[in-house]
Structure 1
Amino acid sequence: MLQVGADGYRLLDALAGAGSPPLAAAAPAVAVLRRVWARHFAREREGSPPAGTSVRLRPVQGRRPGDRIESPYGVEARFRAKSGTAWTGYMVHLTETCDPNLPRLVVHTGTTPANVHEAMRTGAIHAGLAGLDLIPSEHLVDAAYVSAEHLVAARERYGVILVGPARPRQGWQTREEGAFHVTDIAVGWEHQRVRCPKSRESTSWRAYRDKASGRPFIRGGVSPAVCRACSAKPRCTRAGSRRLSLHPRAEHEALAGARERLESDEGRRLYGQRQGIEATISQGVRRFGLRRARYRGLAKTTLQSVATAAALNLDRLAAWFALRPLAPTRTSRFKALTA
């Protein structure tokens, strides 16, 4: 492997030399080779003659995560593992209507390399729908597309109410009965105070930015001396004192509102309409080959996704005009036995 690495660098040096063919160093295949070698190999002595250059493998933690070229023939395809499924290629995001007593039609498709997380596409989907004058008043999405920032941005930029399950709360309090949750702590935004369920107010309040993401947060905490003397401390925190990391006010209130909506009967009925997209994905995969890219490259795969969505719409319109009923939800054999 080290010999292959040294040979690759020797080839790159020769292509960049004065005697190489014109424009050879700028060829697409050379650019791919340079990117792959920069990810997997490193020279021990930079600037040394090619013949005397030694090569070592880069440690895994020193490589950029998730952005490796998987094949020189499909340089835009990326690897992804999700819910027990692993593949190399792309990811398709579908948006369809779900109005009652009307055919469900796909109104937007978005195709990205597989390693692009769904959370990165929420704003792009709304921008695409707005450009088509198809922006909805309510958008039912999977949990991967929901965050505090998305809830605020969708409402402020496009007037869209983003409906979907927020990320679950973390911490041992969520798993222990009788423990105090974050929702049990009152936040006084005007006075910059938090109040615990035992009416103890915080003694600290400061804004900060997360070093990794750069997103703003607020940290408020109660004095350790106050917490230690509290009889309810075992139900509240296992640390010296309870310290909370809060989103800014707009994001905090939007997240609380989204969770409250889905906990209501009306919210659950509304969100229940989103399950139709699973049938759309199944139909696209089983009847129109949605899960297999027919061509190489992101541009051609995007075109395939658009063509698949058009075929889905034509099939559904034909079924609508022919009064063909929707197929019933499949019942597993195990469920049929227990019925």
Structure 2
Amino acid sequence: MRISWILVLSATFAFVLPFLVIYLPYALFSMYMHDLRTASSSIHIQASMHSVFESATAMLCLVPPVSALAFVCPSIPESKRDSALMLQQVSGAQQAFLDQLTRYAPTPEVFAIVSSIQRAAHFAFVFDGTIALQSGHPQGPEGNRAGGMLSDIHHLSRELLVSLREVGLHVEVAIARVASIQSSVVTGLVVLHNARVYSDHRLRTNPPRFDRIVALFANASSDSAQHVLQEVQRAMSISSNLSSTLDHFRRTAEPARSCAPVSKPLCDTISPLFFRHTPLSSVSDRLALLQVTLQEELDESSREIATPPALTMYPVQAVRAILEAQLRVYRKQLLVLRRTRRFLESGKFGAK
């Protein structure tokens, strides 16, 4: 009797395991998101986890006998177009979008610029009496910060550093989200290819439909773009306030006599406060480019399929090859973003 149960359980496990493998990208994504969860990113992460799980389920629904279960695999309207080509086109557009996100995401150089301004304001404030930096004492942008413009500059710089870090986190979540969805698709295609009921002949004559996956891809891009855009707009607002406060400070602080009685190292430290053309403008420009990229993604409500070249492989094989190539790109992008995040977490740009 015990042997019979062992045989039944072994057979069940051998049957179920290939299907559960499709959910492995979801499990890995959940673990990856553990280090990225903050008050700002938690909603984005939750939506991303849901879409990654949905994509794994959608791929599972392509494999018999699961595809026959209506409560697991609801039917959706199918497009008359080739869904494999639609998936290739949408994933290609996603890659272009995520390439732009990675290009304009905050870099260590961006954090260094803002951190230098914060550090300069800190030292100038501490040694205000010594270096004779006299300025007015207006209220901060939120009306709850006292101590003059130097205090405001320090506070705004700190806020901007935090917001820029959140922008980087949201970009990392967006790329990891798409990469995990694609990984689910690739894993599902492997299971589909290995399923005995799907011979090479069946894949060639009756390829699976990817309509549901295409919809999940499109929704993932637009949803992530909205979350990133919200934080980008917040960072742009802080950057604008910081720039205005710096301009006001330069006009009233009399920089010509500021460093006269002080040592050169201290003068070098506070010099970012007196740059006529502040490097902060490069930070604002990068955020503006990021905003344009995100807005274009949101404004593009539908993507028309161009007439594609003839495929040299079967549709399933073509989709898998393209998605695997894109996954390699996404992993490199995530590596760059992860290095930036860990560089920040090392404390080099901690607020004073």
TM-score band by shorter chain is: under 0.3
Greater RCO (CA < 8 Å, at least 6 residues apart): 2
TM-score (norm 2): 0.20
